[in-house]
Amino acid sequence: MSGLQLKDSARRVQAAIQDAGFAFQVREFPASTRTSEEAAAAIGCDVAQIAKSLIFRAADTGRPVLVMASGANRVDEKAVAGLLGEKLARADADFVRARTGFAIGGVPPVGHREAPVVFIDADLMALDEIWAAAGTPNAVFRLTPTDLVALTGGAVAAVKKGS
């Protein structure tokens, strides 16, 4: 089992995937997958196929908000705030680590310490295959956009700037 060789953070993601009833295989790359651009280069896919994980903090309740956005898009924070019904505050690195259990650059869609509110960039739904981070700056997994919705329970929405 390749899963036994994964770093601890990536192994937690692999376990969360399996606990949710899916079989996506976490893959570690020798090259960095810390940013969307680096991940696309390491994988050999289009940057639009990278489902980047952006964490925000709901300003009133302090809830973590996870936006899964296409690597090609910038997220419109006002649009997300409108969907949430609450303003968004910036999440710093400490907030991300404390609430998700993962460091920026490896934040996965599942396996978070605290269940976030999840929104999924509607642009991802047009793609056949996408890739998401899997806990470390070298680990990712491939899935379909429909499976990302099922895996996270997220709401598909227009979250990109300019939409």
Q: How far is the CB of 52 from ligand 5CA (least distance, A)?
A: 3
Q: How far is the CB of 68 from ligand 5CA (least distance, A)?
A: 9
Q: Which is nearer to ligand 5CA, 47 or 122 (CB)?
A: 47
Q: Which is nearer to ligand 5CA, 122 or 138 (CB)?
A: 138
H helices present in 92-144, as ranges: 93-100
CB 117 within 8 A of CB 66: yes
Q: How far is the CB of 150 from ligand 5CA (least distance, A)?
A: 19
Q: Rule CB under 6 A: which residues touch ligand 5CA?
A: 33-36, 39, 50, 52-54, 91-93, 104-107, 132-133, 140
CA distance 83 to 53: 17
Q: Which is nearer to ligand 5CA, 140 or 148 (CB)?
A: 140
Q: How far is the CB of 107 from ligand 5CA (least distance, A)?
A: 6
Q: Residue with the closest Cβ to ligand 5CA?
A: 52
Q: Which is nearer to ligand 5CA, 92 or 129 (CB)?
A: 92
Q: What are the CB-based long-range contacts (under 8 Å, 24+) for 12-19?
A: 12/101, 12/111, 12/135, 13/108, 13/110, 13/111, 13/134, 13/135, 13/139, 13/141, 14/134, 15/111, 16/108, 16/110, 16/111, 17/110, 17/111, 17/141, 17/151
